[in-house]
């Protein structure tokens, strides 16, 4: 739903720049349900007429909300209200499967993809020796072309003998070799984006992110995956259903 936007601004007397007043008005309108998540924002020209502001001021206000993660800009399509993604905290699933279940196309930008020997920490996490060959994978995860997460995974090479067959889904590739994970543990903690992470995820430095550490197992109990990820905190929520004992 998109109702008529009432963006007429009153000078607040506190010297707040007009673009910030516009951003606040839009933010309040969105949080109040005036524009549904995923809906398009009116054009800069329309917003300029509604608020009685220059298009330069409107553009700055929109950028402020994009930087905050309230809005997202899709090249060639316009500006949209960002969706909050609710990820189930008790379900073992892949980023690609979750993205497709929301009706979006998953994508990947590879940072590195190679075989190597594990560090002592990685070997301990996987339950292997430091002389065990592993596949080390680093990638940016996209949904609808938007970067949402950075993943760094280490997998014993015996479970991933062919890196050339690896597409956008690690679990699909593991499944093709008969090693799809069936159980695991995951830890999630709040953190702040480093300058490098902020640049990759298109957010401001020190924006809120979720750091996730995941270890998964195949049916015989062997650890098949040790992954550390950084997810955008402005887009993701991990939700767990609770039952009364």
* CA atoms of 50 and 57, how far apart (whole Å): 13
* CA atoms of 70 and 67, how far apart (whole Å): 8
pLDDT in the model for residue 4 = 52
| Number of other CB atoms surrounding residue 67 within 10 Å | 15
DSSP class of 126: H
Picking from 174, 177, 191, 104, the residue whose alpha carbon sits closest to that of residue 141 is: 104
Q: How far is CA 48 from CA 71, 100, 143, 197, in A?
A: 17, 36, 30, 34
| Number of other CB atoms surrounding residue 192 within 10 Å | 13
pLDDT in the model for residue 1 = 42
Low-confidence ranges of the chain (pLDDT < 70): 1-14, 245
Identify the bridge partners of residue 150 per DSSP, sorted by sequence position. 140, 230
High-pLDDT (> 90) share of the chain, %: 46
CB 81 within 8 A of CB 37: yes
Cα–chain center distance at 171:
18
């Amino acid at each position: 739903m998109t109702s008529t936007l009432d963006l007429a601004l009153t000078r607040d007397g506190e010297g707040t720049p007009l673009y910030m007043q516009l951003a606040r008005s839009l933010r309040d309108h969105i949080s109040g349900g005036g524009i549904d998540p995923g809906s398009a924002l009116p054009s800069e020209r329309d917003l300029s007429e509604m608020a009685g502001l220059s298009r330069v001021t409107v553009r700055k206000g929109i950028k402020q909300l994009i930087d905050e993660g309230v809005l997202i800009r899709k090249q060639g399509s316009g500006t949209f209200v960002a969706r909050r993604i609710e990820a189930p905290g008790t379900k073992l699933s892949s980023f690609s499967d979750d993205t497709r279940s929301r009706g979006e196309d998953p994508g990947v930008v590879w940072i590195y993809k190679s075989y190597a020997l594990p560090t002592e920490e990685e070997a301990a996490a996987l339950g292997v020796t430091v002389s065990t060959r592993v596949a080390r994978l680093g990638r940016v995860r996209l949904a609808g072309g938007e970067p949402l997460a950075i993943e760094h995974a280490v997998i014993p090479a015996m479970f991933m003998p062919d890196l050339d067959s690896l597409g956008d889904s690690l679990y699909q590739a593991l499944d093709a070799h008969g090693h799809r994970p069936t159980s695991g543990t995951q830890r999630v903690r709040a953190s702040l984006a480093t300058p490098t992470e902020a640049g990759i995820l298109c957010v401001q430095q020190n924006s809120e992110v979720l750091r996730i550490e995941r270890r998964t197992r195949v049916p015989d109990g062997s650890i098949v995956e040790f992954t550390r990820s950084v997810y955008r905190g402005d887009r993701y929520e991990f939700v767990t259903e609770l039952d009364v004992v």
